[in-house]
Amino acid sequence: MTKSDEENDPSVQAPEAVSDEVDDEDGGWSADISEEAVRARALDLSSGVKGLTISEDLEKTEKERMDIFYSCVKSALEKNNLDAKELLSEAERLEVKTKAPLILAELLFDEKIHVQLKKHRILLLRFTHEDTKAQRYLLNGVEQVIALHKESLLSKVPAILKLFYDADILDEKVLLEWAEKTSKKYVTKELSAEIRQRAEPFIRWLREAEEEESESEESDDDLEIEYNDRARITLQKEPIKPTITKKVDDDDDDNDVDIDNI
């Protein structure tokens, strides 16, 4: 290779020169190490890790996912930062939204449930509104709270249930169905039966209110039918027949015809 060829061969040039030329030809492929670029790459990395974490969480058992939600609610309580939307979003992400009221009851309520219910009404509504399964799980959670504080809460069962009903957190249908059957899944069979026995005054009031409402609706239907029948009779009067007259020319008196004599 001649000296002239060596000068034109990039492989024998100084490394710095080769690097500069390659950068120019590739449009600047080297990594941007500015503070802004580094931060952006870190955010991309954290998003990827977060996505991986979400995927891993959903592969866990339901109990493990419930434990994650429990930790989330407990942490929010300790920080006094119970954000209803965030907790609902986390429950939906973990696919435990329907059973989440079990955990909410455990962490939010104690012997002062009547005060705590009013404080956390919006949060509870986020999870139970138009979700009868979630309402049943909330009732199960309330039974567990009563079991933990039997001395102070057992005698107040009717009042507690009425508070949930008046706050629109528990629907009438859910309460009536709950009262029909005892369960030993969350408390003992004996305590489950006793709680329902204590609840009987409220349940009886609920049934009576339902019956009165049903009778009132039937009465309104009968009144409407009666009114419609009367209105129909009034509208079906005999139609008035029009009077028929025959036009006669004034200048033809001899040919006048008396219509009454026809």
Q: Is the dihedral of CA 114, 118, 119, 120 positive or negative?
A: positive
Mean pLDDT throughout 236-244? 53
| Residue 19 confidence (pLDDT) | 47
| Residue 166 confidence (pLDDT) | 97
| Residue 21 confidence (pLDDT) | 47
Q: Is the pLDDT reported for residue 26 higher than 50?
A: no
Burial class (CB in 10 A: 0-12, 13-18, 19+), 34: exposed
Which pair of structure tokens corresponds to residue 7?
Answer: 């000068």
Spatial separation of the C-alpha atoms in residues 126 and 98, rounded to whole Å: 11
Assess contact for 179 and 139: CB atoms under 8 A. Answer: no
Assess contact for 123 and 93: CB atoms under 8 A. Answer: no
Q: Is the pLDDT reported for residue 38 higher than 70?
A: no
| Residue 37 confidence (pLDDT) | 61
Q: Is the pLDDT reported for residue 230 higher than 80?
A: no
CA dihedral 169, 174, 178, 180 (to 10 degrees): 150
Q: Taking the complete model, does pTM exceed 0.95, yes or no?
A: no
Q: Is the pLDDT reported for residue 58 higher than 70?
A: yes
Amino acid at 143: E
Amino acid at 148: L
Lowest-confidence segment of 56-60, 70-74, 150-154, 221-225 by average pLDDT: 221-225
Spatial separation of the C-alpha atoms in residues 155 and 172, rounded to whole Å: 21
